Amino acid sequence: MTVDVEDYFHVSAFEKSISPADWHTISPRVGDNTHRLIDLFNEKNIKATFFTLGWVAEHCPDVIKRIVDEGHELASHGTNHRRATTMTRDEFYRDVAESKDRLEQLSGSAILGYRAPSFSINESNEWVYDTLRELGFVYSSSTYPIEHDLYGVPHWPRFAHLHKSGMLEIPIPTLRVNEKNKGIGGGGYFRLFPYWLSKRRISKFITQEKQPYSFYFHPWEIDPDQPRVKGAPLKSQFRHYINLSRMQPKLEQLIDDFAWTSMAQAYGIKGNNQIVTREAVA
């Protein structure tokens, strides 16, 4: 179970409608929404991985501490939700290093995992893996092997694998149908399709592929009352707002129907003595 911890105004779909320079003028909702998710996970007795923006850590430090204190895995989603494909090597290094340092200082725990905003690792920027290794990350979950107008590497591996850099990459799950990969990892697909179809596809993946299945979504997806962004493209508005009111009941059913844990636990990922003690950062 994975959560990309970002607010509704951070998403790539709205990047042309809301400038990062204006983020400080908007009241964050990500803190309350993430606390609601932690409450739900605790109630259902499951652990999750929270890929969290450095921006969220700066503005909602209580969320960071609670994620770790209650036994969930904290991971990085970069600092300001900039897609990796839009940054130079130096910019990427600074963005990810800042997020990692901020998360580690707040949590007192080593950050082992990274997810690129909008799954923005592809053939044009495989150097990202070298940077992640240099920064001490152990794994990435940043690729989606599907055809999509905003992202996707359909010809890349569908299952966890070691990239030639030595970095472990854990792709978003897909189902192979008629020689094409279909997205079944969560997000908009999960909100769009009826629950019975999602459940059937996930069950087929688990039975057919005999691989761990990972689900991703965002705190804003359980927040149907969030402000509407004006001026965004109609396609972006459709993708973002479709079935928000139905998300939490579907999520609760999903949690009940399958067994869930964090990505680090599912893949046996350890930090090679990288843990930063709370005393060291106090």
Domain ranges within the chain, ordered by starting residue: 2-281
Q: In this structure, what token pair is assigned to residue 152?
A: 């996707």
Q: How many residues are given for the chain?
A: 282
- If we measure between CA atoms, which residue out of 204, 201, 6 comes closest to residue 99? 6
Q: What is the pLDDT along the chain (282 residues), one digit of tens a residue?
A: 999 999 999 998 898 899 999 999 999 999 999 999 999 999 999 999 999 999 999 999 999 999 999 999 999 999 999 999 999 999 999 999 999 999 999 999 999 999 999 999 999 999 999 999 999 999 999 999 987 666 668 899 999 999 999 999 999 999 999 889 999 999 888 999 999 999 999 999 999 999 999 999 999 999 999 999 988 888 889 889 999 999 999 999 999 999 999 999 999 998 643 333 223 222
Q: In this structure, what token pair is assigned to residue 16?
A: 């042309």
- 185 close to 201: Cβ distance less than 8 angstroms: no
Distance (Å, rounded) from C-alpha 261 to C-alpha 51? 14
Calculate Rg over the CA atoms of the chain.
18
Superfamily designation of domain 2-281: Glycoside hydrolase/deacetylase (3.20.20.370)
List 160's β-bridge partners, or say none.
none
Sequence-ordered list of residues with C-beta below 8 angstroms from that of 32, at least 6 positions apart, any chain: none
pTM of the predicted protein model? 0.93
